[in-house]
Structure 1
Amino acid sequence: MSAEMTQIFSEFIGTAILILLGDGVCAAVNLNKSKAQNSGWIVIAFGWALAVTIAVFVAGLNGPAHLNPAVTIAMAMNGSLSPSLVLPFIIAQVLGGIVGAILVWLAYLPHWDVTTDKGAILGTFATGPAIRHYPANFISEVIGTFVLVTGLLAIGANKFAEGSNVFAVGGLILAIGLSLGGTTGYAINPARDLGPRIAHFILPMKNKGDSDWAYSWIPVIAPIVGGGLAVALFTLIK
């Protein structure tokens, strides 16, 4: 396998693990009969932070471990990623998101039938607004991803003991989730939302309801905007 294909495959595997663990904690909290049902936002925020940490460790063995189209586009903008890898990375990330979500469905297979709350089921896969207000929801995702990419660029500009920078990334995700995630569920990653939303749409679940495609463009477009703004600002202050 060529070096480029290895990196692309790493993005696929890393994103699949990210979603398996991240949507997995959402399933644990949301689904009926789960031992972790109703354990709350703190559990979800810590679960996602650890999901990112583990996924970055795995994907980082053979690639940059972006796991996020907004990060990939931002890194191409600042010159740290070849433009030829942008589209392959994004495709791999979205496919990884689909596969990761399917694995969550399999892991919690009996729980879907005993969960009748359609919103809880969709929330296991994809994000949604606490208050549906598209301009405000868009701004929230822009701000969250701005902080994400700015934080990643700052982490990259500092020196760490080998491997320890990944824990800083996990801390960054935790901070975003706790401080900014309450409005939209902090997708801050088009693949994190779009891949699982596609899985929700295609998987056979009797109580799943609508996949809310009317909202789906926000967690795709807003993170890309937020990441681009972060690169622009970081270029000015660096």
Structure 2
Amino acid sequence: MENNYPNLDEMDIEEFEEYIDKSRRKRSRTPMQVKKISPRAIEVDDLEKRLELAKRQAEEAQRDDCTVLVVKLHIKADEYDVYRFFSNAGVGKVRDVKVIRDTKTGKSKGVAYVEFYTPDSVLKSMTLSGQMINGQAISVQPSQAEKNRAAAATRLAKTAEQQLATPKEGPNKIFIASLKDELSYVGVRELRQLFSPFGEIENVKVNKGVGYVQYRNSKDANEAVTKMDGVKIKNKRIKVGIADAKTN
């Protein structure tokens, strides 16, 4: 009887290892198949998750834009009362109503959120302030989320304005005079052209042969004095210094 076993003595090391590997695979009835995940697949999966998160955030922001806050609500008014009031008011189709309740007692706190399908319904619903639900006048306001975004935008604008604004600490006005005679050969236009490279100028004037340049801040004024004092203009040296605060 012939057997199908190979002659192991005639195998080299590589053939033997291959034979052992094949034997192991054959003996395994439920071989474990490990799926290799490439870095590209991980990256795509991460991007898809980010995209999904961005979509959810965009959807939430869009729903916030369609939501109003109702305050001074009668404590016995429920979701149906609020829904019926806004639906019958003709301001737009109501998508959802949520009355804010105490987590322990379950009683209404007199506040509710009303979500519409379109943002234009929000503006229309503002006109309903003062009308009655269950015999009590209500007040309709933009949703808190919208207020938070508006407040955040205001803070950002204020921060940007503060960053752009340059403080006016210290003297910011300089004088320009000739060391030999009056500065009659230089006018307002020439002074502005000469001294504008050092910073933003608020005012330029010439009075009795002396020029005055007022900068937006003291740093630029000091730089102008440092770099322009003693410079020759039309073969005449000029004197540049910080002007007296009382100088007009």
Tell me whether the two structures share a fold, i.e. TM-score over 0.5: no
TM-score in terms of structure 2 length: 0.21
Higher relative contact order (CA 8 A, sep 6+): 1
Q: Which has a greater percent of helix?
A: 1
Q: Which has a greater percent of strand?
A: 2
Structure possessing the higher radius of gyration over alpha carbons: 2
TM-score in terms of structure 1 length: 0.21
